[in-house]
Structures are given as C-alpha cells and as structure tokens.
Chain A
Amino acid sequence: MSARSPGFRLACAVVLCSMLLLLDRLPRAPSLAEAKAVWPLAVKLPAAGVPVLMAQGRIPVPADTPVAHASSLLALPASHPSALLAFWFAGSSESAADVQIAASHFDRATQQWSAARFVVNRHAMAERLGFGLRRLGNPVAWRDRQGRIHLFVVATGLGGWAAARILHLRQSNRGEDFAALSFDAERVLPLSWLWNESFLVRTAPLPLKDGGMVLPVHFEMGIKYPVGLRFDASGGFLGMVRISSRKYLLQPTLLMENESSWLALMRVQCPDGKVAVAQTLDGGRSWADLPDLTLRNPDSSVAGLALAPGQMFLAHNSLANSRAVLDLSASADGRNWVLAQALAHGTGYDEYSYPALAWVDDGLWVSYTDRRQAIAWQRFSFSTATR
C-alpha cells in the first residue's frame, strides 16, 4: 500500500480520528445532570408576612470616588464573622479609566458596614490575563462549595459597554479576613465567536443543589437577549443556554418556583415596557417566553429572590419613564405582584436603581444605587414559622 493510496489514507484517517476523539472524550466528565435549584430558606414566612424595615443607610465608599453603581450582595454563612459582603464599581465617573471594584462587609459583632476598599483593579487583572481591559463594571459575587468567593465582572475591550466581556475572578487569599480579600483573574468567559464581545453580567446567580449555580447574563450589541450560564461547585464553566428568543430583553434575574421550574424576570428595552418573563421547566435546559408582567419597567434592572415556595420578592423601578421610584413587590407565583414596601421615592431626575437582594440572618437585605453617588441598603425582617 503506497503512502498516497486511498487505502493508506483511510487507515491513517481512522487511526487519527480515533485518537483525537479519545483525546477529546476521555477528560470530559461523563454527563451533565439536570440542574436543580435550592431554596435559601429552611423556614417558611407567614403567608401574610409584611417586611418590616429594621435598618437602613449607605455603605461607606472609598475616598475620592464620586460615582458608585451596580451593587451585588453576597450572603455569608452563620459561622462567618461577617453577615454579608457588598461589591460595586466606583470611580470618578461611570466608564472612567479609574473605575475599580469596591467591597465592604457587614460585621456581625458591630452591626456596621466596614470601610470600603478596592478589591479588583483592571491593570492587575490585565497583567494576569496578558491582555488589556479598558473598563470594569457590574460585579456579581458567588461563593463556591469550598467557600471561595468568585466575582464575575464586566470588562470592556475596544468600545463601550456593548463591547464588554465577562471576566471571571476567583478569591486568591485563604481565610475570612476582609482586609486580605483579593482576587485572581480566572479567565474571560468564552461566550461569543465575535471576539467574545458584548456579554454582560448584572444579576445574582441561582444556587444549585450540586453546589454549582446558574449565572444570568445578557448579550447587548444592537439586539439584547438573555442567556443562562451554568457552573459547577468549584466555579467551572459548564455551558450556556439562551433564555428568550425576544431581542430586547436584558439583565435577567432568576426566581425558582421549584427545583426544576424557574422564572427569569427581565429588564425591557422598549417604550412603555413591562417586566418580561420566561420560564424553564427542566432546570434551565430550555426556556419559553411567557406574557409580560403588569409591572412597568423603565428600561431598568430588576432583582428577584425566591425565599421559599410561593414567596418571591422583586426590587424594581415602578414608574414608566423614570428610575426615581424603587419598590419592593411580593408574589406567590411570580406572575402576580403586589407592592410590599417602598424602597426609595425620589422626584425628577433622582435615580434609585440596580437593586440587589440577599437573605441573611432571618432578614431580607436590599442594596441599590443611590443617585449614582453611593450604595444604599435596607434590611427587612419577617416573623417566621417552621415549615
């Protein structure tokens, strides 16, 4: 058999393909089990429970940072000296070159927020990655099964927010000392063929039973569509699925109805928009659009949290064309919402926006951007009954 004969080539191709297929298949985990979400609460709130405001204020900001925006809250376990961590981006202006990711923690002993400090700097992250990052924004935090904190941060390339990528960072220090909290760049998440551009993150992940999570993100170059990213218990990327076929929805927030059935509530970028909804019945493998909610959405981010079956909360701007009013609504089914609390009511060009929710120490915590100058917070309590 000569080297150029079809028979020889066939033998070579079969051997080569077999080797390459083995090389590709063997290191992969056998299969991806269906994602099952977990409730954050081990108890059920009273059916007619109304959130009662217990405390509120502003989180201290780092010095010389007139702009603060897009906070994210991370609940910490009861054994931790801090109840929760807050992350946001701060700098001289939004999209400024000096914007960094700031953090503060709420100390259980003193019941105070700590002084804020910067934990992510674009130059340090760029050095680690080997390529430049122009701007940082929208941090979203998550804690893996080993207790390490992961941050997902928007990092722009050549262009504005529409040219952004999602940078995955992992806590690099050990221990619980906030003063030592630092992050290493893990990777830019591979989400798009087009130079990996135009995917942004904003809202909190949905924790899963296996210790992993589903991170809601969106694409926003020209059109806007939401996507769910799945991660394993150590923060390994497991895949992506589109949440909606509509092209004007962004910043999805995930609410579980049960372990496999979830809702995605989304910001709408169209005039007179209402909060949009999609639903999955198979743990995020496939999604279907549902009719919009009756809640107005002035092209503004919403934050949802499902605490227990039939107990969902949503922080949202409730005026048609302004972010001056931020409310907290409650729902039993995710479709019908009633006002539970007014969070911030301003006038004119006041902006109270980009809320985040977390359940910590039997209380519902809300943080939000306060006129783009600070991060405000509120804590609500409920009387609880054992489920």
Chain B
Amino acid sequence: MDASVISRFLISTEIPLLPGDTAMWLALHAGWAIVLGSGMLLLAGKLATAYRWSMTLLVVLWTLSPGTVSPAYWLGLAFQSPSLASDVICLGWLLRSVRRRRETAYLPPQWDPRALKILWATGIALGWCLLLDTLALFQFSLYACGFGASAFAVVLAAAASLWLLMGSAASALPLAVLALFALSRLPTGNVWDALLDPGLWLALQIGCLLSVVRRLWAARSLSAATRA
C-alpha cells in the first residue's frame, strides 16, 4: 500500500451514506425506549415481577410517544441517539430477562469473560481515541474516516476475527452491531457512532473502575483475614 492510499484513507474522501430522516426519528425514540426500558428493569429489580414489567412497559411506551412529553425528546436534545451497540446490549438484557421470567428453569448462557474483557478494553480505548480526535489531537480525523467504506471494512474484519477466534455469543456482539449498521446506517451514518456512544463509553469506564475497586477490596479483605 503506497502513501497516497493511506493518505486518501486518512483524509476520508469516501462518500458517506446517511440514514433518512424518518429512520433517524424512529431510531431516536426506539433507541431510548430500549435503553430506558432496560434501565427501569434494572432499577426495579427488587420489586415484584408484575410491577417490574409493568413499569418497564410504561417507560417504553412513554419514551415511544411523540413530542415534548417523551423523554427521548429531551435526551435527544442533550445526547442525540444512543449507539446501536447500546441498543443491542440493552435489548439483549431485556430479552434475556424476558426468557428468565418465562422459563424459571432456564439458565442463560454465561457471557464469555475473555471476549467481554477484550470488548470492554477495546471500547474504552476507542472512546479515548474518538475523544482525543474530537479535540483535534491527531493529525488526521478519525471520526471523518468513520463515514467511509474503508473504515467499515477494517472494523468488520476485526469483528469477524474476534468471533472466529472466540466463537462465543459475546464475541458476536460487534458483528451484530455492524450488520444492523450496514442495513440501517443508524444512528448517523458513521460507523463509530454505531459502535460506541459517549454514554456507553462512560459506563464501560465506571464498570472497569468498580471492578478494580472490588478486586482491591477483596485482596485487602483476604490479606486481613490471612493476617488474623
């Protein structure tokens, strides 16, 4: 690959494919309905099942309603649409909860911890790269590359490789997101917006921080117990 090919890729002269306005309107409401619905289900975890699901359904319907009454109207003002990755993760969580409710004997498959760790670390690293790129700290524009077919191909190859190597449900998550993106171009036509939003990125970092704190706490307790 000669320098001009790299240069063309980095300054992104490929024509973007953007989603239509109706699709964006629907994605905004449906995306936030999924995210808020799963959040409600999580928050109402200690309530009786009927209450938990009623409240979840209420939140979903409320978010899907048009106009200023919908939380999506105000969340969109501040945060635009959630990424497809956030939607897929939250939808997966919702569907898993539905299955657990229906089949009491059903044991959900354990997420592959190795794949999760890789996705977690990649998400955090990608978020930092995109943030630094937004602040123009790179010579090229990483975000602008996300509109091009080359970036999509590279990310697709990486996602397929992860799934080939791991073969677990968790490792197929990026492939599922990319498939949805190729079909819909949502939420913005930029592959980075489909893979990660700043909210998900913050959640990944908070999760990582909590995990470290928990481990340190456990190690401290263990050493205290050993000393005793």
Contact = CB atoms under 8 A, between A and B. Distances in A.
Interface of A: 4, 6, 9-10, 13, 16-17, 20-21, 23-25, 27-29, 31-32, 126-134, 157-158, 185-188, 190-196, 198, 219, 221-223, 225, 236-242, 245, 247, 285-286
A264 to B, nearest CB: 15
Nearest to B75: A131
Contacts of A21: 149, 152-153, 156
Given A10-B164, A23-B183, A126-B73, A190 B156 contact: no
Contacts of A192: 134, 143
Nearest to B10: A286
B189 interface: yes
A84 B26 CA distance: 38
B205 interface: no
B11 A190 contact: no
B68 A190 contact: no
Contacts of A193: 130-131, 133-134, 143, 190, 192-193, 196, 198
Interface of B: 7, 11-18, 21, 24-25, 28-29, 66-68, 72-80, 130-131, 133-136, 139, 141, 143-144, 147, 149, 152-153, 156-157, 160, 163-164, 167, 175, 178-179, 182-183, 188-190, 192-193, 196-198
Contact of B25 (A24, A27, A28, A130): A130
A245 B14 contact: no
A188 B80 contact: yes
Given A17-B156, A193-B192, A23 B14 contact: no
A130 B29 contact: yes
B18 A237 contact: yes
Contacts of B141: 240-242
Given A9-B163, A16-B175, A196-B80, A239 B13 contact: yes
A285 B73 contact: no
Contact of A239 (B12, B68, B175): B12
A126 to B, nearest CB: 7
A132 B11 contact: no
Contact of B72 (A130, A236, A242, A285): A130
A16 B13 contact: no
A186 B17 CA distance: 14
A239 B9 CA distance: 12
A9 B18 contact: no
Contact of A28 (B17, B76, B135, B192): B17
Shortest 9 CB-CB contacts between residues of A and residues of B:
A131-B76, A132-B77, A190-B188, A158-B78, A193-B130, A130-B25, A23-B182, A13-B160, A20-B182
Contacts of B17: 24, 27-28
A239 B151 CA distance: 14
A198 B136 CA distance: 13
Contact of A158 (B13, B77, B130, B189): B77
Contacts of B134: 192-194, 198, 219
Contact of B80 (A126, A195, A223, A286): A195
Given A132-B76, A193-B190, A240-B144, 5 more contacts: A13-B160, A20-B179, A130-B76, A131-B74, A185-B21
Given A219-B136, A239-B147, A195 B157 contact: no
A17 B159 CA distance: 10
Contacts of A225: 136
Given A127-B67, A190-B189, A219-B136, A157 B15 contact: no
A191 B193 CA distance: 10
Given A13-B163, A190-B18, A190-B193, A195 B78 contact: yes
Nearest to A8: B167
A130 B80 contact: no
A221 B18 CA distance: 25
A223 B72 contact: no
Nearest to A230: B13
Contacts of A29: 15
A32 B73 contact: no
Contact of B11 (A158, A185, A198, A285): A285
A239 B136 contact: no
A16 B160 contact: yes
11 contacts: A6-B167, A13-B160, A20-B178, A31-B13, A32-B14, A130-B76, A188-B80, A190-B189, A219-B136, A239-B12, A241-B11
Nearest to A186: B21
Contacts of A237: 16, 18
A20 B193 contact: no
Contacts of A32: 13-15
Contacts of B135: 221-223
